[in-house]
A and B are shown apart, each in its own frame.
Chain A
Amino acid sequence: MERIGVVLGRREATPLEFWVGVEGEGLLRLDDLVVVEGFHPKVGKVRYFGMVDLVAKAHEGESFDTDVFLAVEGKIPVSLAYVAHVSVTRIVPEEFFPPDPGSAVYLAREEDLELALYYDAMKNQRGSTKLPVGFLKSGEVAYLNLEFLNGVKGGHVNISGISGVAAKTSYATFLLKSLLESGVLEEAHQARVLLFNVKGEDLLFLDKPNLRLSEEARRDYQKLGLSPEPFRSVAFMAPPKKGEGGILPDVETRLEGVKAYHWDLVQFAQKGLLPFLFTDKGALTNLGFLVAHVTEKLRRLAEGQKGPHLLVADWPEGELPEDITFDDLGRVRLKSFADLVRYLEYKLLGPETKEGEGDRTWTARQARGTLEAFVRRLRSSVENVGHLVRGDRKGNPPDPLEGGEQVHVVDLAKLSPQAQMFVVGSLLSDLFAKKERGQYRGRVFVVLDELNKYAPRDEESPIKDVLLDIAERGRSLGVILIGAQQTASEVERRVVGNAAIRVVGRLDAAEAERPEYRYLPTSFRQRALILPQGMVILHQPEIPVPLLVRFPFPAWATKREEVLEDNSAEALRREFF
């Protein structure tokens, strides 16, 4: 054990915090872990483990600030005081009496380090639950207790941080890598991941090796017990390009391996996706009822239909737009989302040409104002989701539980906010319903950035309920939310509050002062303002202090330029023939 100093006597030493005087050539930095031994005749030996959260140097013997010049010139004798403040993380055994001033302080290494960070408690009947999540400042591997992530004792991860410093998405993907590959998660092969790509196209290269991965980063991965390789089993889905009949995925940088996703009208009706188009159903009280009612009517209408187009029997001939046709059974065929909207308008408000009344079975006795508000909103959404909900082709919605791939990346970047909401809401509610019915055994990890948009603190959102449901009940069903946002203070409290693991990247100064970050000690809140790239503060329930964690450079490309081109003969052959 390396002796680093002694417990100070000039400042109070308590069972929870004390000061250390660093001796001689000793080096004690923030985040270093130390151990002190205490003794009391009635209790016996007690060991205090703690983390350094403040270090300071000062000249002793100077009584004025300007004395420093005299000291530098060698005119007055001074001694250098090097002190550190230690927050106690653990006492073994749990006897809360203070250590004696003057007690020797040692750097915690190996076994002591494990005790200090409760690594010894991270296990269950079947083995260790230590999930590698990065490196401590000292270079040793940092772990978190998987049981707080996979839903056994707790679940969900919340990541905060300003954008542009590679903290949120990078850390979320690194965490997934560790979850899927470290072997700590049982039946990791059954786990599924649903990743939403909300900005740019950086998640569309998860399966490509990173050109800029250095030897050092490779060693980092090996030290963590992970392979320095990209994700192996990934499916990419992007919305189709807008415009006539387009079914090509709307992506620019990645040209192969991306499938377009969309729903057909029958799926739209059967799955009851209509409510996800309404961002403000709380604005008019009755609108919510009407949405629920129409959703139900559509569901009944689509019963037994196979699609992709929706057949309706009660649209009189005279008002048909030209492109609508009858099928063999004499029913009208709705071929696009716009058609559906026109049909609904007819059902609710009556024929366009005259001031009529809608179909009473559809209007649910709502006032005309409500009906008009409903139709207005629906009409304006045609432009946003017209290419996602279509009647001309068999629907192909993303389904992370289907197919052979483990990771499903769903691109939202090019969609309008309303369409993004629609896609996220549809997928999550579908996923959750399936897990509720027990259709899939493995765990599902959902990564969603910009939580503040989907579950805002003060406003309504059609998918806030879905997210709340996942946050509150998801962990028992095996749906784990890895949510991220720039500012946790703007996200619904219950969503953030249900996350057992909290990760903080660099924060904005005003944001760091909000009550959402009170779980961080002051020194960490200050440091959150200056965190460099590749560093995060990680808080988990078992350890009373947060850990400053460095995570390795992504082994997968995060943009087109980073993709390591495969120019082998085999690859070229595949490409050209």
Chain B
Amino acid sequence: MAWRLYALELSRLEGTAGEALSGATAWEEGYPASFQPLEEPWEARRAHPKPWPEPLYFVDGRERVEAVLSDGRRLALLGCVAAGAVVYRQGSMRLLETRVRRVGVGLEETLRLGELVYEPLPLEGGAEPVSPLALQEGLGKARALLEEELSGELEGGLLVVDGPVRLRRRGPVLGYIKTHWARYLPEVREALLFTLKPGERTPMFKVRRKGQELASWYLRLPLPPEGVRPPESGLLRVETPLQGDFGALADLSLSLFPALASHPVKDSRAPQNLLPVGGLERELSRRMGRREVVARILARYQDSFSADLGGG
């Protein structure tokens, strides 16, 4: 049974809903059933400016589908995941490390195509025909693993991760969520979100996810120029594990995030896409190699797919 190159992009597959795949993760379990505030009263809060802790790490990752293979029954996905860290130390932001890995979701053996090496990442129930959605999820998991691996090696300081806090770390961690699919607040409390001014936050409340207890709060980023905006613009939800002095972190977040908010002129995802993370993302996509070049290599090697895989 031989693999052959089926497509270079997932969205070209019939029957896949590109939108459903393109970003929303199913991590966040919606509330509002068990809303549990950690601070009272329920009103906007401000904090005095605080110096940033050093070192201050930012970790982010990217994933990219590079090809879809088919052997007639099953699908496999060749993709690339990357994770990187930048550190703020002594007044400058420096790129710390980037890791790039190519994975073959649904493959059982390593696939070598010229200089590209795809490590196998078997899916559960590998013998069954798999859906593109499951392949995409597999790739996402590979990226999460890489991010976790990278952040596990960062010592001391405060770690800021893009997205919810999934990893476990000894030091303090802040996760920030840019888009809000899930609702955490009961309707009466939600009203406060719309009255938040830049640099203000809501009181903390408790979030429980997969056995992890977290403190979370919303804060409003500055979004110049000020004007009429949709109510959720510039709104960031921040969370941190419910341990240590999470209250201080909440106050610190008011000094940290608004200062790092990006400008709408420069970033279409402003202001929530933080400046260092935006830079890191550009760097990561560079390290992943040009899509066109990868596609060309894949096309060149497509005849050798079956030979390399030994008719698995």
Residues of B contacting A74 with CB < 8 Å? Answer: 88, 91-93
Q: Check if B280 is an interface residue, CB within 8 A of chain A.
A: yes
- Beta-carbon contact of A77 and B280 below 8 Å: yes
Chain B residue with Cβ nearest A73 = B91
Query: With A61-B282, A61-B283, A63-B282 in contact, do A76 and B276 touch (Cβ < 8 Å)?
Result: yes
Q: Tell me, yes or no, whether B299 is within 8 Å of chain A by CB.
A: no
Contact (Cβ within 8 A) A79 B95: yes
Within 8 A of B (CB), among A56-110: 61, 63-64, 66-67, 70-71, 74-79
Contact partner, B276, options A63, A64, A77, A79, Cβ 8 Å: A77
Q: Is B259 an interface residue (CB 8 A)?
A: yes
Instruction: Check B269 for interface membership: any CB of A closer than 8 A.
Output: no
Q: Is the interface of A mostly helix, strand, loop or mixed?
A: loop
| A-side contacts of B283, CB under 8 Å | 61, 77
B68 at the interface (CB under 8 A from A): no
For residue A485, give the distance in angstroms from its CB to the closest CB of chain B.
53
Q: Which residues of B contact A78 (CB under 8 A)?
A: 279
Write the B75-92 contact mask toward A (1 if CB under 8 angstroms, else 0).
Answer: 000000000001010011
A67–B265 Cα gap in the complex (Å)? 11
For chain B, the count of residues having a C-beta within 8 Å of the partner chain is 18
- Across the interface, name the chain B residue whose C-beta is closest to A79: B95
In Å, the complex CA distance between A61 and B266 comes to: 13
Q: What residue of chain A has the Cβ atom nearest to residue B260's Cβ? A: A75
Cross-chain contact B266 with A64 (CB below 8 angstroms)? yes
Contacts of A71 in B (CB 8 A): 93
Q: Does B278 contact A (CB under 8 A)?
A: yes
Q: Are A75 and B266 neighbours in the complex by a CB distance under 8 Å?
A: no
Cross-chain contact B260 with A77 (CB below 8 angstroms): no
Complex Cα spacing A79 to B86, Å: 12
CB–CB B279/A77 < 8 A: yes
B34 to chain A, nearest CB (A): 38
**Which among A71, A77, A79 has the highest number of chain B CB atoms within 10 Å?**
A77
**Which chain B residue lies CB-closest to A64?**
B266
> With A63-B266, A75-B260, A77-B283 in contact, do A70 and B275 touch (Cβ < 8 Å)?
yes
The answer, yes or no, to whether B189 is at the interface (CB within 8 Å) is no
Residues B95 and A77 in contact, CB atoms below 8 Å apart: yes
B95 adjacent to A76 (CB under 8 Å): no
A76 lies within 8 A of B275 (CB): yes
| Given contact pairs A61-B283, A64-B266, A75 touches B276 in the complex (Cβ within 8 A) | yes
Which residues of chain A have C-beta atoms less than 8 A from B86's C-beta?
Answer: 77
Chain A 338-362 near chain B by CB (<8 Å), digits 1 or 0: 0000000000000000000000000
Q: How far is the CA of A385 from the CA of B182 in the complex (A)?
A: 104
Does chain A have a CB within 8 A of B94? yes
A75 touches B282 (CB 8 A): no
Chain B residues within 8 Å of A61, by CB:
279, 282-283
B266, A77: Cβ atoms under 8 Å? Answer: no
A88 to chain B, nearest CB (A): 28
Interface centre among B91, B94, B276, B279 (most CB of A within 10 A): B279
Distance between Cα atoms of A64 and B279 in the complex (Å): 12
Least Cβ distance of B280 to chain A in Å?
A: 6
Question: How far does the Cβ of B194 sit from chain A's closest Cβ, in whole Å?
Answer: 28
Q: Are B94 and A77 in contact (CB under 8 A)?
A: yes
Residues in A neighbouring B280, C-beta threshold 8 A? 77
Chain B contacts with A in 248-274, Cβ cutoff 8 A: 259-260, 265-266
B266 touches A67 (CB 8 A): yes
Q: Chain A residues near B95 (CB, 8 Å)?
A: 77, 79
Q: Give the complex CA separation of A374 and B163 in angstroms.
A: 100
Q: Which residue of A lies closest to B280 (CB)?
A: A77
Enumerate chain A residues within 8 angstroms of B276, measured Cβ to Cβ. Answer: 75-77
A76 to B60, CA, bound (A): 14
* B279 surroundings in chain A (CB, below 8 A): 61, 76-78
A58 to chain B, nearest CB (A): 15
What is the minimal beta-carbon distance from A219 to any residue of chain B, in angstroms?
A: 43
Closest to B84 in A: A77
Chain A CB within 10 Å, residue with most, of B91, B93, B260, B276: B93
4 closest residue pairs by CB, A with B: A76-B279, A74-B92, A75-B275, A77-B95
Taking A74-B91, A77-B280, A79-B95 as given, write out 11 further A-B residue pairs in contact, using a Cβ cutoff of 8 Å, ordered by the A residue number: A61-B279, A63-B282, A70-B275, A74-B93, A75-B93, A75-B259, A76-B276, A76-B278, A76-B279, A77-B94, A77-B276
**26 A-B residue pairings within 8 Å (CB atoms):** A61-B279, A61-B282, A61-B283, A63-B266, A64-B265, A64-B266, A71-B93, A74-B91, A74-B92, A74-B93, A75-B93, A75-B259, A75-B260, A75-B275, A76-B93, A76-B276, A76-B278, A76-B279, A77-B86, A77-B93, A77-B95, A77-B276, A77-B279, A77-B280, A77-B283, A79-B95
A interface residues, Cβ below 8 angstroms from B: 61, 63-64, 66-67, 70-71, 74-79
Task: Using CB atoms and an 8 Å cutoff, list the residues of chain B in contact with chain A.
Answer: 86, 88, 91-95, 259-260, 265-266, 275-276, 278-280, 282-283
